[in-house]
Structure 1
Amino acid sequence: MLYLLLYPLARAVLISLQDFRLRELISGDAEFVGLANYRALLTDPRFWTVVRRTFLFMAVDVALIMVLALLVALMTERLGRVWRTVVLSSLVLAWAMPVVAATTVFQWLFHSEFGIVNRALTSLGAHSFERYPWFAHGTAAFAILVTLVVWQSVPFAAITLYSALTTVPAELHESARLDGAGAFRILRSVTFPLIRPIVMLVLCLEVIWTFKAFVQIWVMTKGGPGDATTILPVYAVQTALSRQRYDLGSAASMITVVLMSGVLVLYFRQLFRQENES
């Protein structure tokens, strides 16, 4: 565990404090430069643009994931046994699909010439989408990646929230209905307070997973067009591999770790609080 987890982290920290480029990668002799790489990043306007885009990507994804997952969980709770089994099985299958496979499917769905999305829109009368190059437009590519990440993340969140909903006693719902409460009031005043610890845990996990999304973006757009879909993990890899600035790439990764650590603190606080309540 020390070798697989702590050593790579310590090595990345060390490289972020050195002048480490392709020559140093081969020779192994790197000069210590202290916090110069971090200063270079923090004074780079492009870096701050990437940071803002990362938080925007995370916020949009997490909001959609939590809303859709809660709606799916509530729907599943109200279905009969057969349809509930169908929905849960579908969620598990979607969740189990490998990330690269799902990303490739989405690439084909939105392919400019052979994609079913363009053909469907054209058949509905939107002729402007005939051979529309989705991945050549930053906003369209960003929206597709958001859709992909949400589609991959909703199953886990929905199944977890559904499991939490099954722990709410039915007597509480019946009592609330007898008191004249509607469906929304029951959800807000009865159900949500009881499942709030699970909701917060799922929220923290989704923040972490979307914040460090890399595979989907790298396979689909590699951060393009331009920088339209570049977030911090992609920026770190681009800097390290394309520019062969392994020192700046490691520094960007360390900043990402620091930002995610704040979310981890919230996650563990909520986890320990839930354990104490139980």
Structure 2
Amino acid sequence: MPVTRERPPQHRPARRPAGPSSRRRPGPRHNLWPYALITPAIGGMLYLLVYPLGRAVLISLQDFRLRQLISGDAEFVGLRNYRTLLSDPRFWEVAGRTFVFMAINVVLIMAISTLVALMTERLGRAGRTGVLCALVLAWAMPVVAATTVFQWLFHSEFGIVNWSLTSLGFDSFDRYPWFANGTAAFAILIVLVVWQSVPFAAITLYSALTTVPTELYESARLDGASGSRVFRSVTFPMLRPIFMLVFSLEVIWTFKAFVQIWVMTRGGPGDATTILPVYAVQTALSSQRYDLGSAASMVTVVLMSGVLVLYFRQMFRQEDEPR
């Protein structure tokens, strides 16, 4: 009888159930969906930020006054507006005052916010919650409302500051006109800007402080390092990028502090509180020289960018140096 060999059973791979991994990968046209989702945000940003900037650059290169604003037939004059602006002695006086205003504010903001953040980190839970709530409430107060409150605080007749100083025996402050004195008005604006800026910087630095490992602090204290030494050798090197970020944001904030000055003093008395943004608005509105006002705004942007570039170069240079 012929012997028939049985074939070994063939093991076929079991079919995998249809799932997300077995589906076809989306084609190239499906990858456009994320871009379509962010297109409205990008369009809004271009319209609200890039377009005004480009429009200001265009106006600064034209002879753009009240007649051109109505008719729309502005003539290109190249860099003539910039030459006129840079040859104005008042512009350089205002630019110097702007840098002084920025430097004082940024130094005070960084110092006070760092101390507040370090203090908040050492508080208990209840104290920390109270300080953070107070900072958030101060930060959330609208700029115009805060400026109006400071106006009433330093009012010559009804202000609580004059009343308090007079009650303490300083009779010279009876009906003292704070906003008629250039130095006093400048100091009040500095206090206002610092008061509005410290909450954001302090909360940001406190959030960064919570990410520093406690083992580093314990090791530094075991080596006998003081509090200031721990901050210089441990805290600041660990949080250098956050300090750079806060510093750059405060430079931008103080450089463009227009609302506070315009609501409180409008740049007066005289030019005592006039900085570059206020100067640009005054130039555009007083004599309808919108071209010179736009040129002043562009110079302000260039100067602010230059300050930030110099600071970042110095910081990166220090990081690259061998220790």
Task: Establish whether TM, by shorter chain, passes 0.5.
Answer: yes
1:90 equivalenced with 2:154 (yes/no) = no
1:175 equivalenced with 2:175 (yes/no) = no
Q: CA RMSD in A?
A: 1.9
- What SS does the aligned partner of 1:104 have? helix
- Residue of structure 2 equivalent to 1:241: 285
How far residue 2 of structure 1 moved from its aligned partner, in angstroms, is: 2.6
How far residue 44 of structure 1 moved from its aligned partner, in angstroms, is: 0.4
| Percent identity (aligned) | 83
- Residue of structure 1 equivalent to 2:263: 219
| Rg larger in structure | 2
Q: d(CA) in 1 for partners of 2:193 and 2:284?
A: 25
Unaligned 5+ runs, structure 2? 1-44, 317-323
How far residue 5 of structure 1 moved from its aligned partner, in angstroms, is: 2.1
Alignment of 1:50-65 (within 5 A): 50-65=94-109
How far residue 170 of structure 1 moved from its aligned partner, in angstroms, is: 1.1
Q: d(CA) in 1 for partners of 2:306 and 2:56?
A: 19
Alignment of 1:167-206 (within 5 A): 167-206=211-250
- Residue of structure 2 equivalent to 1:81: 125
Alignment of 1:96-135 (within 5 A): 96-135=140-179
Please say if residues 204 and 263 of structure 1, whose CA atoms lie closer than 8 Å, have aligned partners that are also in contact: no
- Residue of structure 1 equivalent to 2:196: 152
**Residues 79-125 of structure 1: CA deviation (Å, up to 9, x unaligned):** 00000000000000000000000000000000000000000011111
User: Comparing both chains, which one has the higher relative contact order based on Cα–Cα distances under 8 Å and sequence gaps of 6 or more?
Assistant: 1
- Residue of structure 2 equivalent to 1:43: 87
1:29 equivalenced with 2:69 (yes/no) = no
How far residue 264 of structure 1 moved from its aligned partner, in angstroms, is: 5.2
Q: d(CA) in 2 for partners of 1:5 and 1:269?
A: 26
Q: d(CA) in 2 for partners of 1:7 and 1:69?
A: 35
How far residue 6 of structure 1 moved from its aligned partner, in angstroms, is: 2.0
Q: Choose 159-168 or 26-35, whichever is displaced more.
A: 26-35
One-letter identity of the residue aligned with 1:47 = F
- What SS does the aligned partner of 2:239 have? helix
**Residues 16-75 of structure 1: CA deviation (Å, up to 9, x unaligned):** 111111111111112221111100110100000000000000000000000000000010
Please say if residues 208 and 263 of structure 1, whose CA atoms lie closer than 8 Å, have aligned partners that are also in contact: no
One-letter identity of the residue aligned with 1:28 = G
One-letter identity of the residue aligned with 1:71 = L
How far residue 262 of structure 1 moved from its aligned partner, in angstroms, is: 2.6
TM-score, scaled relative to structure 2: 0.81
1:17 equivalenced with 2:37 (yes/no) = no
In terms of fraction of residues, the more helix-rich structure is 1
One-letter identity of the residue aligned with 2:253 = W
Q: Choose 256-265 or 225-234, whichever is displaced more.
A: 256-265
One-letter identity of the residue aligned with 2:189 = L
One-letter identity of the residue aligned with 1:9 = L
How far residue 261 of structure 1 moved from its aligned partner, in angstroms, is: 2.4
How far residue 4 of structure 1 moved from its aligned partner, in angstroms, is: 2.4
Q: d(CA) in 2 for partners of 1:269 and 1:95?
A: 30
Please say if residues 201 and 267 of structure 1, whose CA atoms lie closer than 8 Å, have aligned partners that are also in contact: no
One-letter identity of the residue aligned with 2:196 = Q
- Residue of structure 1 equivalent to 2:115: 71
Q: d(CA) in 2 for partners of 1:51 and 1:172?
A: 44
Give the paired residue count.
273
Unaligned 5+ runs, structure 1? 273-278
TM-score, scaled relative to structure 1: 0.94
How far residue 8 of structure 1 moved from its aligned partner, in angstroms, is: 1.6
